């Protein structure tokens, strides 16, 4: 099974971010609302954190 998810790097220090959770987030724009899970009424976002400096980034999951 090929690896399809690109790695994310920290915008602050350039270290490789670690994905450690996913959470539903309320859509904040029409584009996100179209992609939201109809059951949840939210889009799933991955939470990536930097093991070096602790910066957290969200990325759309799925």
Complex with Zn ion: residue 12 or 21, whichever CB lies closer: 12
Answer left, alpha or beta for residue 30, where phi above 0 means left and psi between -120 and 50 means alpha: alpha
The verdict on 12 binding Zn ion (CB under 5 A) reads: yes
Stretch binding Zn ion (CB under 5 A), from 3-11, 20-28, 31-39, 41-49:
3-11
Q: Is 35 in the site for Zn ion (CB under 5 A)?
A: no
Residue of 22, 32, 55, 57 interacting with Zn ion (CB under 5 A): 55
Which residue, 41 or 51, has its beta carbon nearer to Zn ion? 51
- One-character DSSP codes across 4-57: -SPP-B-TTT-PBPEEEEEEEE---SHHHHHHSBTTTTBEEEEEEE-TTT--EE
């Amino acid at each position: 099974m090929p690896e399809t998810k690109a790695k994310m790097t920290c915008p602050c220090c350039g270290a490789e971010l670690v994905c450690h959770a996913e959470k539903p987030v309320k859509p904040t724009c029409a584009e996100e609302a179209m992609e939201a899970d109809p059951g949840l009424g939210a889009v799933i976002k991955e939470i990536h954190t930097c093991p070096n400096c602790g910066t957290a980034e969200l990325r759309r999951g799925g």
